[in-house]
């Protein structure tokens, strides 16, 4: 299985995550919401890590760079 197939699976997981977040906010009824939400979030994170690896992206490095950019943006340094 490659990044294309894993990304397709991730999109399904993201849809499941949305349904669980909706349930967390009372827009749907789902039993054991916190347990299911934690599981789905970890599924999504796993997918992102695996997809990045399969595409040759150093996700830890890119995450750090992105967080630095966001921090500058929040602090108004990039205006």
Average pLDDT for runs of 10 along the chain of length 79 = 95 97 98 98 97 97 96 82
The number of beta carbons lying within 10 Å of the beta carbon of residue 61 is: 9
pLDDT of residue 78: 57
CA distances from 5 to 19, 51, 52 (A): 22, 9, 13
Find the domain containing 57 and state its range: 3-75
Q: What is the DSSP letter of 70?
A: H
pLDDT tens readout for residues 8-24: 999 999 999 999 999 99
Q: Check the CA dihedral 15-16-17-20 and report its sign.
A: positive
pLDDT of residue 1: 86
Domains: count for the chain: 1
**For the whole model, what pTM was predicted?**
0.83
């Amino acid at each position: 299985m490659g990044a294309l197939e894993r990304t397709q699976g991730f999109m399904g997981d993201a849809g499941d995550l949305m349904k669980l977040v909706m349930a967390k906010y009372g827009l749907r009824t789902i039993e054991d919401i916190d347990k299911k939400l934690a599981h789905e979030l970890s599924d999504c994170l796993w997918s992102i890590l695996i997809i990045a690896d399969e595409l040759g992206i150093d996700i830890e490095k890119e995450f750090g760079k992105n967080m630095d950019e966001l921090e500058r943006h929040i602090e108004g340094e990039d205006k």
